[in-house]
Amino acid sequence: MSDTAVSGPKAPAARSFFSALQLDTRLLGMIGAFIVLCLVFNFVTDGRFLTPRNIFNLSIQTVSVAIMATGMVFVIVTRNIDLSVGSLLATCSAMMAMTQTIVTPEWLGLGLNHPATAPIAMAVGLATGLVIGIFNGWMIGYLGIPAFIVTLGGLLVWRNVAWYVTNGQTIGPLDENFQLFGGINGTLGATASWVVGGLAVLAAFYVLWQSRRAKIKHEFPVKPVWAEFVIGAIITVAILGFVAILNSYEIPGPRLERMFEANDETMPAGYTAAYGLPVSVLLLIAVAVVMTLIAQRTRLGRYIFATGGNPDAAELSGINTRFLTVKVFAIMGVLCAISAIVASSRQTFHSNDIGTLDELRVIAAAVIGGTALSGGIGTIYGAILGALIMQSLQSGMAMVGVDAPLQNIVVGIVLVVAVLVDIIYRKRTGD
């Protein structure tokens, strides 16, 4: 959060263009690595990697891990760890699956696909995640059990609570409205996607303008106006480019025909429709915005980072660090529940192995995204980018046809090397 602009005045004249933009060099490095990765895979797969279809798939595959990774940033920043996120996801998913296949249709007599089913199921899932998160945080903060132990125990406990709740059975199919959050079954279509993209661009310009106005009000130095516009233009191209790519992924003809048949209509000849933005990706963006706001613009976020930087100083400043731990794990629990919605609805059923090994993917995403295990440093956007890089690596290798064991070996090596690069970067810049 505070590692921006440090290098500004020190940068040599040749880099004045970039220093005027005052961009985060770490962010640029990660984006650069991601682009290189994509280009390499695209080259090796003869252009199959960067197709609208694969970009669409990559996006929806990343969402579940990325949502949890934003919460893991707070957990790791406060010098804790959460090894139970995958199991917690499974328990939340099991609770939601049982709610919508047994509780609402049979016990409450609402039948299948009732409009109230999805909201009730989600409320149950979110409450489950919240309560378990608070319980974890209480054990860590107030009973003083190390987070590693509490969540290592939780890894076993919650995985098997999920098993117990469902008797180990696959529960499905899930409610139709619930499935809208899964990805391919819930997209906005072309027009609505353009509208959302346009609103996002407006919001970006508003934020840039607001921050400039506040700086001028306090008579701080501001970037040249052209630099603001260059940044605005980059953001605009990125947002609208993403929407354009997703909008050019068209729903296959047979599937469209089935959709029309379901409504007792016939498809007009030559009719096409695009998927557009998936609801799950919008959910991730919403989570990212809220978590970034918490991190950078609220007292809670400030205290999370202060506690990570120096727990004693935080305590002496009057911050209740125990209650803070409870809050951090409560947020993590709720995010696991949101991920459970996405993960189970993406596969349209709850399976006993849902979320297995997600704790490792989530921690890896946060760490690759620049979150320091020593605490105090980490960003939300970094963790999301980390999740995206991990997922691209995995599916890129699968596409190239790398053997499964080699895929995992590469991912493991990348994790270690990414942290090494980060350490070297921090030493060089003195951050």
Q: By the criterion CB under 8 A, which residues form the site for other proteins?
A: 2-6, 214-215, 217-220, 293, 296-299, 301-303, 305-310, 312-319, 376-377, 430-431
Q: Please give the backbone phi and psi of residue 359, each rounded to the nearest 5 degrees, phi first.
A: -60, -40
In angstroms, rounded to a whole number, what is the distance separating the alpha carbons of residues 333 and 135? 10
The DSSP code sequence of 356-375 is TTHHHHHHHHHHHTT--TTS
149 or 313: CB nearest other proteins: 313
CB of 3 vs other proteins, minimal distance in Å: 7
Quick one: which of 165, 102, 98, 116 has its CA closest to 344?
Answer: 98
265 or 312: CB nearest other proteins: 312
**CA count, 13 A, side-chain hemisphere, 153:** 10
CB of 195 vs other proteins, minimal distance in Å: 26
**CA count, 13 A, side-chain hemisphere, 404:** 0
Rounded to 10 deg, the angle between the 52-77 and 380-400 helix axes is 140
CB of 72 vs other proteins, minimal distance in Å: 18
248 or 320: CB nearest other proteins: 320
13 or 316: CB nearest other proteins: 316
CB of 160 vs other proteins, minimal distance in Å: 38
75 or 306: CB nearest other proteins: 306
CB of 30 vs other proteins, minimal distance in Å: 19
CB of 216 vs other proteins, minimal distance in Å: 10
296 or 408: CB nearest other proteins: 296
- 27-49: b (≥16 Cβ within 10 Å) or e: beebbebbeebbeebbebbeeeb
Per the CB < 8 A criterion, the answer to whether 65 and 85 are in contact is no
In angstroms, rounded to a whole number, what is the distance separating the alpha carbons of residues 387 and 68? 10
Structure tokens at 366: 């946060």
Please give, one letter per residue, the 3-state secondary structure of 269-282: CCCCCECCCEHHHH
CB of 263 vs other proteins, minimal distance in Å: 44
**CA count, 13 A, side-chain hemisphere, 155:** 14
Quick one: which of 334, 339, 348 has its CA closest to 177?
Answer: 348
401 or 430: CB nearest other proteins: 430
Per the CB < 8 A criterion, the answer to whether 352 and 157 are in contact is no
Q: Any idea what the Cα angle at residue 360 is, between residues 359 and 366, rounded to 5°?
A: 90
CB of 152 vs other proteins, minimal distance in Å: 27
In angstroms, rounded to a whole number, what is the distance separating the alpha carbons of residues 152 and 149? 5
CB of 416 vs other proteins, minimal distance in Å: 24
92 or 306: CB nearest other proteins: 306
218 or 428: CB nearest other proteins: 218
CB of 316 vs other proteins, minimal distance in Å: 5
Structure tokens at 4: 């921006």
CB of 11 vs other proteins, minimal distance in Å: 14
169 or 211: CB nearest other proteins: 211
15 or 297: CB nearest other proteins: 297
Please give, one letter per residue, the 3-state secondary structure of 88-146: HHHHHHHHHHHHHHHHHHHHCCCCCCCCCHHHHHHHHHHHHHHHHHHHHHHHHHCCCCC
* Kind and range of the H or E run holding 208: helix 190-217
